[in-house]
Amino acid sequence: MAGLVNTVVLITGGSGGLGRVLARAFARQGSRVVITARSEARLTAAGEEIGRAGGQVLALPCDVTERKQVDGLEAAIGARWGAVQILINNAGVARAASFLETTDANWDEILRTNLTGAFYCCKVFLPGMIEAKWGRIINIGSTTSKVGYSHVSAYVSSKHGLLGLTRALALETARFGVTVNAICPGYLDDELTRANAQRMAGKTGKSVEQILDAFASTAPQRRLIDPEEVAGLALLLASEKLGGMTGQAVSVDGGATMA
């Protein structure tokens, strides 16, 4: 993808799942990729995998719910590679529970990770983009950014909030060479979706395959989404090719949401 060689890309939640796929995709384009997550062991493994494939990668542990750690992350990246030019807010957690069973602690954890973490990262890394008069922020939302789902009220609230942040920030940065967009995937064909299916199977008595089929059936295409499809869109949004797109929430969900 034109224009991505040697760009500094930060991907939160980069140790596994979609985050690792995003990191590999940008590394293949010649970007200098920083991955961060809380699990240092998984982060190291992801960094070694990308490095063996020839990618330029830094694996730096950080809890994005802690502002001081995000500040420290900026300092570490700046000392090595300079300012972050492309920020992908991918870190997220989900806990399934009915609203009345959702504890205060679960609500706080999900909102702090999925929404406040993105807020902190934008606060810390946006000024460098404005100074350079160029930058890309890509927030990884979900179909739950656009529609409600039962038994995930905290997650839905966090992802709706992330979409609101995307749109408000896009308005404030539109004249500074920065674009802010969201990608809203449906159920991904990855380890996290399968782990959720495993947990639901244990609670419902259904098989994992039955649960996965139920996930797939929520979309007209009746399939799960390959994380590479999301990564392909992220590359396009980060490039010069879509410099005129900002404040948008693009669904990659097999037709599950059409708005």
Q: Which segments of 83-226 does DSSP mark as H helices, in order?
A: 104-111, 117-132, 153-173, 191-204, 208-216
Q: Which residues of the chain have pLDDT under 70?
A: 1-2, 259
Give the span between the Cα atoms of 195 and 244, in whole angstroms.
38
CB atoms within 10 A of CB 171: 11
Using CA atoms, how far residue 25 sits from 74, 117, 170, 230, in Å, is 22, 23, 25, 10
Task: State which amino acid sits at residue 235.
Answer: L
Q: How much is the pLDDT for 1?
A: 61
Please state the pTM of the whole predicted model: 0.95
Encoding tokens for residue 122? 């934008």
Dihedral sign, Cα of residue 203, residue 154, residue 146, residue 251: negative
pLDDT at 204: 84
- Mean pLDDT (the chain) is 94
Can you read off the two tokens belonging to residue 39? 């699990």
pLDDT of amino acid 198: 86
The residue from 120, 149, 155, 187 that is catalytic is 155
DSSP string for 45-101: HHHHHHHHTT-EEEE----TT-HHHHHHHHHHHHHHT-S--EEEE-------B-GGG
* 189 vs 239: CA distance, rounded Å: 25
DSSP-derived pairing of the beta strands 178-185 and 135-140? parallel
Nearest-angstrom CA–CA distance, 54 and 2: 19
Output the pLDDT for position 2: 64
In angstroms, the first-to-last Cα distance of the chain is 28
* 98 vs 88: CA distance, rounded Å: 30
Q: What share of the chain is helix, strand, coil (3-state, %, to 5)?
A: 55, 15, 30
Residue 155 designated active-site = yes
Whole-number pLDDT of residue 192: 80
Q: How far apart are CA 8 and CA 181, in angstroms?
A: 18
Around Cβ 104, how many Cβ atoms within 10 Å?
A: 7
* pLDDT tens per residue, range 21-71: 999 999 999 999 999 999 999 999 999 999 999 999 999 999 999 999 999
